[in-house]
Amino acid sequence: MAEHYGTAIVPTRVKKPRDKASVESTVGDISTWITAALRNQTYFSVSELNEDIFKKLSDYNERPFQKRPGSRKSAFAEEERELLLPLPVISYEIATWKKATVAFNYHVCVNSQYYSVPHEYIKHQVDVRITSRIVEIFYNSLRIGSHPLLTGHHGQYRTVDEHMPLKHRKSSDWNAERFVSWAQTMGPNITEVIRSVLAGCKVEQQGYRTCMGILKMSDKYGVERLEAACARVLGYTPHPTYRNLSAILKSGQDKISSPKTVKSNATCERHSFVRGAKYYGGDDHAE
Protein backbone atom coordinates (compact mmCIF):
# COMPACT_ATOMS: atom_id res chain seq x y z
CA MET A 1 0.00 0.00 0.00
CA ALA A 2 2.86 2.38 0.84
CA GLU A 3 4.51 1.70 -2.50
CA HIS A 4 1.21 2.25 -4.33
CA TYR A 5 0.78 5.71 -2.77
CA GLY A 6 4.47 6.67 -2.96
CA THR A 7 5.01 6.96 0.77
CA ALA A 8 6.80 5.16 3.61
CA ILE A 9 5.59 3.56 6.83
CA VAL A 10 7.93 3.88 9.80
CA PRO A 11 6.71 1.91 12.85
CA THR A 12 7.25 3.46 16.26
CA ARG A 13 9.48 1.81 18.82
CA VAL A 14 7.94 -0.20 21.61
CA LYS A 15 7.40 1.77 24.86
CA LYS A 16 8.58 5.05 23.31
CA PRO A 17 5.67 7.53 23.64
CA ARG A 18 7.66 10.38 22.10
CA ASP A 19 7.83 8.44 18.79
CA LYS A 20 4.10 8.84 18.36
CA ALA A 21 2.80 11.90 16.52
CA SER A 22 0.27 14.34 17.94
CA VAL A 23 -2.37 12.54 15.87
CA GLU A 24 -2.80 10.13 18.80
CA SER A 25 -4.23 12.85 21.05
CA THR A 26 -6.12 14.39 18.14
CA VAL A 27 -8.24 11.24 17.85
CA GLY A 28 -9.51 11.74 21.38
CA ASP A 29 -10.07 15.46 20.79
CA ILE A 30 -12.17 14.81 17.69
CA SER A 31 -14.22 12.19 19.51
CA THR A 32 -15.05 14.75 22.18
CA TRP A 33 -15.57 17.68 19.80
CA ILE A 34 -17.78 15.92 17.25
CA THR A 35 -19.23 12.75 18.73
CA ALA A 36 -20.12 14.27 22.06
CA ALA A 37 -21.59 17.37 20.43
CA LEU A 38 -23.94 15.30 18.25
CA ARG A 39 -24.80 12.58 20.74
CA ASN A 40 -28.30 13.92 21.47
CA GLN A 41 -29.24 14.59 17.84
CA THR A 42 -31.57 12.29 15.88
CA TYR A 43 -30.89 11.60 12.18
CA PHE A 44 -33.02 9.81 9.61
CA SER A 45 -30.36 9.41 6.89
CA VAL A 46 -26.60 9.02 6.61
CA SER A 47 -26.36 12.13 4.43
CA GLU A 48 -27.86 14.27 7.21
CA LEU A 49 -25.42 12.85 9.75
CA ASN A 50 -22.43 13.40 7.42
CA GLU A 51 -23.47 16.97 6.78
CA ASP A 52 -23.32 17.81 10.48
CA ILE A 53 -20.09 15.86 10.98
CA PHE A 54 -18.34 17.77 8.17
CA LYS A 55 -19.59 21.06 9.62
CA LYS A 56 -18.23 20.24 13.09
CA LEU A 57 -14.96 19.01 11.55
CA SER A 58 -14.56 22.31 9.71
CA ASP A 59 -15.14 24.20 12.95
CA TYR A 60 -12.55 22.00 14.69
CA ASN A 61 -9.90 22.62 12.01
CA GLU A 62 -10.49 26.40 12.13
CA ARG A 63 -10.24 26.48 15.91
CA PRO A 64 -7.11 28.51 16.94
CA PHE A 65 -4.17 26.74 18.54
CA GLN A 66 -3.69 27.39 22.23
CA LYS A 67 0.13 27.63 22.29
CA ARG A 68 1.00 28.95 18.81
CA PRO A 69 -0.53 31.19 16.17
CA GLY A 70 -2.85 29.86 13.50
CA SER A 71 -5.07 26.81 13.30
CA ARG A 72 -4.95 23.33 11.87
CA LYS A 73 -6.44 24.61 8.61
CA SER A 74 -3.89 27.42 8.22
CA ALA A 75 -1.00 25.09 9.15
CA PHE A 76 -2.09 22.65 6.45
CA ALA A 77 -2.34 25.41 3.82
CA GLU A 78 1.03 26.95 4.67
CA GLU A 79 3.19 23.91 5.47
CA GLU A 80 1.74 20.73 4.00
CA ARG A 81 -0.37 21.41 0.91
CA GLU A 82 2.62 22.01 -1.40
CA LEU A 83 4.26 18.75 -0.37
CA LEU A 84 1.31 16.52 -1.21
CA LEU A 85 1.52 14.16 -4.18
CA PRO A 86 -1.42 13.55 -6.52
CA LEU A 87 -3.36 10.38 -5.77
CA PRO A 88 -2.91 7.42 -8.17
CA VAL A 89 -5.53 7.03 -10.87
CA ILE A 90 -6.44 3.58 -9.50
CA SER A 91 -7.21 3.22 -5.81
CA TYR A 92 -5.28 0.67 -3.78
CA GLU A 93 -7.11 -2.63 -3.44
CA ILE A 94 -6.53 -4.99 -0.55
CA ALA A 95 -5.29 -8.40 -1.72
CA THR A 96 -4.89 -11.85 -0.19
CA TRP A 97 -1.76 -13.86 -0.94
CA LYS A 98 -1.39 -17.63 -0.88
CA LYS A 99 0.99 -20.26 -2.23
CA ALA A 100 -0.09 -22.97 -4.66
CA THR A 101 1.49 -25.71 -6.75
CA VAL A 102 0.74 -25.93 -10.46
CA ALA A 103 -1.05 -29.23 -11.14
CA PHE A 104 -0.36 -31.62 -13.99
CA ASN A 105 -3.17 -29.98 -15.99
CA TYR A 106 -1.32 -26.60 -15.74
CA HIS A 107 -3.96 -25.08 -13.44
CA VAL A 108 -3.73 -23.79 -9.88
CA CYS A 109 -6.55 -24.24 -7.39
CA VAL A 110 -7.71 -21.02 -5.72
CA ASN A 111 -10.71 -21.26 -3.39
CA SER A 112 -11.98 -24.37 -5.22
CA GLN A 113 -11.74 -22.65 -8.63
CA TYR A 114 -9.06 -23.43 -11.24
CA TYR A 115 -6.92 -20.97 -13.21
CA SER A 116 -4.41 -21.80 -15.94
CA VAL A 117 -0.74 -20.86 -16.16
CA PRO A 118 1.82 -21.67 -18.91
CA HIS A 119 2.35 -25.43 -18.95
CA GLU A 120 6.12 -24.99 -18.45
CA TYR A 121 5.41 -24.29 -14.75
CA ILE A 122 3.81 -27.67 -13.97
CA LYS A 123 4.84 -28.89 -10.48
CA HIS A 124 6.33 -25.47 -9.60
CA GLN A 125 5.22 -23.55 -6.52
CA VAL A 126 3.76 -20.13 -7.30
CA ASP A 127 2.41 -17.12 -5.41
CA VAL A 128 -1.22 -16.17 -5.97
CA ARG A 129 -2.62 -12.68 -5.42
CA ILE A 130 -6.39 -12.56 -4.95
CA THR A 131 -8.51 -9.40 -4.96
CA SER A 132 -12.25 -8.81 -5.26
CA ARG A 133 -11.94 -8.73 -9.06
CA ILE A 134 -8.83 -10.51 -10.24
CA VAL A 135 -6.50 -13.47 -9.60
CA GLU A 136 -2.81 -13.06 -10.48
CA ILE A 137 -0.19 -15.82 -10.42
CA PHE A 138 3.52 -15.05 -9.88
CA TYR A 139 6.63 -17.19 -10.16
CA ASN A 140 9.78 -15.66 -8.66
CA SER A 141 8.06 -12.25 -8.68
CA LEU A 142 7.25 -12.59 -12.40
CA ARG A 143 3.55 -12.53 -13.27
CA ILE A 144 2.79 -15.59 -15.38
CA GLY A 145 -1.01 -15.49 -15.33
CA SER A 146 -3.93 -13.15 -14.71
CA HIS A 147 -7.63 -14.03 -14.69
CA PRO A 148 -10.95 -12.46 -13.68
CA LEU A 149 -12.08 -13.89 -10.35
CA LEU A 150 -14.48 -16.81 -10.80
CA THR A 151 -17.60 -16.76 -8.64
CA GLY A 152 -20.56 -19.09 -8.25
CA HIS A 153 -20.39 -22.86 -7.95
CA HIS A 154 -17.08 -24.53 -7.19
CA GLY A 155 -15.02 -26.43 -9.72
CA GLN A 156 -15.04 -23.89 -12.56
CA TYR A 157 -12.06 -23.59 -14.92
CA ARG A 158 -10.56 -20.49 -16.48
CA THR A 159 -8.13 -21.52 -19.24
CA VAL A 160 -6.06 -19.42 -21.64
CA ASP A 161 -5.29 -21.23 -24.89
CA GLU A 162 -1.71 -19.94 -24.94
CA HIS A 163 -1.05 -21.76 -21.66
CA MET A 164 -1.78 -25.18 -23.20
CA PRO A 165 0.79 -27.53 -24.72
CA LEU A 166 0.57 -27.67 -28.50
CA LYS A 167 -1.09 -31.09 -28.50
CA HIS A 168 -3.85 -29.79 -26.24
CA ARG A 169 -4.49 -26.67 -28.30
CA LYS A 170 -5.51 -28.82 -31.24
CA SER A 171 -8.36 -30.26 -29.18
CA SER A 172 -9.08 -28.08 -26.17
CA ASP A 173 -12.64 -29.22 -25.52
CA TRP A 174 -12.40 -31.44 -22.47
CA ASN A 175 -15.61 -33.38 -21.96
CA ALA A 176 -16.84 -36.73 -20.67
CA GLU A 177 -16.62 -38.38 -24.08
CA ARG A 178 -12.96 -37.48 -24.38
CA PHE A 179 -12.08 -38.99 -21.00
CA VAL A 180 -14.07 -42.16 -21.74
CA SER A 181 -12.41 -42.53 -25.16
CA TRP A 182 -9.00 -42.16 -23.57
CA ALA A 183 -9.87 -44.79 -20.94
CA GLN A 184 -11.13 -47.23 -23.60
CA THR A 185 -7.66 -47.34 -25.12
CA MET A 186 -6.35 -48.67 -21.78
CA GLY A 187 -8.85 -51.24 -20.58
CA PRO A 188 -12.48 -52.03 -19.68
CA ASN A 189 -12.05 -51.63 -15.91
CA ILE A 190 -10.36 -48.26 -16.29
CA THR A 191 -13.25 -47.22 -18.53
CA GLU A 192 -15.76 -48.39 -15.91
CA VAL A 193 -14.03 -46.34 -13.21
CA ILE A 194 -14.00 -43.20 -15.37
CA ARG A 195 -17.71 -43.62 -16.15
CA SER A 196 -18.45 -44.05 -12.44
CA VAL A 197 -16.51 -40.90 -11.47
CA LEU A 198 -18.31 -38.79 -14.08
CA ALA A 199 -21.71 -40.19 -13.13
CA GLY A 200 -21.13 -39.41 -9.45
CA CYS A 201 -20.73 -35.64 -9.96
CA LYS A 202 -23.64 -33.24 -9.87
CA VAL A 203 -21.78 -31.10 -12.41
CA GLU A 204 -19.87 -33.15 -14.99
CA GLN A 205 -16.90 -30.77 -15.06
CA GLN A 206 -16.27 -31.42 -11.36
CA GLY A 207 -15.05 -34.91 -12.23
CA TYR A 208 -12.55 -33.86 -14.90
CA ARG A 209 -9.69 -33.31 -12.46
CA THR A 210 -10.22 -36.72 -10.83
CA CYS A 211 -10.44 -38.44 -14.22
CA MET A 212 -7.25 -36.78 -15.36
CA GLY A 213 -5.48 -37.86 -12.17
CA ILE A 214 -6.63 -41.48 -12.55
CA LEU A 215 -5.60 -41.72 -16.19
CA LYS A 216 -2.23 -40.09 -15.53
CA MET A 217 -1.48 -42.86 -12.99
CA SER A 218 -0.56 -44.99 -15.98
CA ASP A 219 2.54 -42.83 -16.48
CA LYS A 220 3.86 -43.86 -13.06
CA TYR A 221 2.52 -47.39 -12.59
CA GLY A 222 1.82 -48.56 -16.14
CA VAL A 223 -1.46 -49.40 -17.85
CA GLU A 224 -1.52 -53.06 -16.73
CA ARG A 225 -1.22 -52.21 -13.03
CA LEU A 226 -3.81 -49.43 -13.33
CA GLU A 227 -6.23 -51.83 -15.05
CA ALA A 228 -5.70 -54.40 -12.28
CA ALA A 229 -6.19 -51.77 -9.57
CA CYS A 230 -9.42 -50.59 -11.19
CA ALA A 231 -10.69 -54.16 -11.33
CA ARG A 232 -9.93 -54.61 -7.64
CA VAL A 233 -11.48 -51.33 -6.51
CA LEU A 234 -14.65 -52.03 -8.50
CA GLY A 235 -14.93 -55.27 -6.56
CA TYR A 236 -15.08 -53.24 -3.35
CA THR A 237 -17.31 -50.30 -4.28
CA PRO A 238 -19.41 -49.09 -7.23
CA HIS A 239 -18.17 -45.53 -6.57
CA PRO A 240 -14.35 -45.64 -6.71
CA THR A 241 -12.22 -42.58 -5.98
CA TYR A 242 -8.73 -41.41 -6.81
CA ARG A 243 -7.70 -42.07 -3.22
CA ASN A 244 -8.89 -45.69 -3.41
CA LEU A 245 -6.81 -46.39 -6.50
CA SER A 246 -3.78 -44.57 -5.14
CA ALA A 247 -3.85 -46.67 -1.95
CA ILE A 248 -4.09 -49.94 -3.91
CA LEU A 249 -1.22 -49.03 -6.24
CA LYS A 250 1.04 -47.73 -3.47
CA SER A 251 0.52 -50.86 -1.35
CA GLY A 252 0.84 -53.23 -4.32
CA GLN A 253 -2.52 -54.89 -3.72
CA ASP A 254 -3.08 -55.01 -7.47
CA LYS A 255 -0.25 -57.59 -7.69
CA ILE A 256 -1.63 -60.03 -5.10
CA SER A 257 -4.06 -61.82 -7.37
CA SER A 258 -5.85 -61.36 -10.64
CA PRO A 259 -9.18 -59.71 -9.80
CA LYS A 260 -12.22 -60.58 -11.80
CA THR A 261 -13.42 -58.18 -14.43
CA VAL A 262 -16.47 -56.29 -13.29
CA LYS A 263 -19.61 -56.73 -15.33
CA SER A 264 -20.91 -53.75 -17.22
CA ASN A 265 -23.87 -51.70 -16.02
CA ALA A 266 -26.03 -53.12 -18.78
CA THR A 267 -25.49 -56.66 -17.46
CA CYS A 268 -26.30 -55.63 -13.90
CA GLU A 269 -29.52 -53.97 -15.00
CA ARG A 270 -30.74 -57.22 -16.65
CA HIS A 271 -30.14 -59.17 -13.42
CA SER A 272 -31.20 -56.91 -10.58
CA PHE A 273 -31.68 -59.69 -7.99
CA VAL A 274 -28.37 -61.51 -8.23
CA ARG A 275 -29.11 -63.84 -5.26
CA GLY A 276 -32.20 -65.37 -6.84
CA ALA A 277 -35.91 -65.34 -6.05
CA LYS A 278 -35.65 -67.94 -3.25
CA TYR A 279 -33.45 -65.61 -1.17
CA TYR A 280 -36.05 -62.81 -1.18
CA GLY A 281 -39.26 -64.78 -0.74
CA GLY A 282 -41.04 -68.11 -0.94
CA ASP A 283 -43.33 -70.38 1.05
CA ASP A 284 -41.44 -69.82 4.30
CA HIS A 285 -41.97 -66.06 4.07
CA ALA A 286 -45.46 -65.97 2.56
CA GLU A 287 -47.00 -64.63 5.77
Give me the pLDDT at residue 95, please: 92
Distance set, CA 259 to CA 50, 154, 185, 249, 255 (Å):
76, 36, 20, 14, 9
pLDDT digits (tens, 9 = 90+) for 102-144: 987 789 999 989 999 998 999 999 999 999 999 999 999 999 9
User: For 224-267, what is each residue's pLDDT tens digit?
Assistant: 999 999 998 898 888 888 888 999 889 888 887 654 544 444 44
Specify the DSSP class assigned to residue 257: S
pLDDT in tens, 161-217: 888 777 655 545 567 888 899 999 999 999 999 999 888 876 666 688 889 889 989
Which SS3 state, helix, strand or coil, does residue 137 take?
strand
Distance CA 3, CA 14 (A): 24
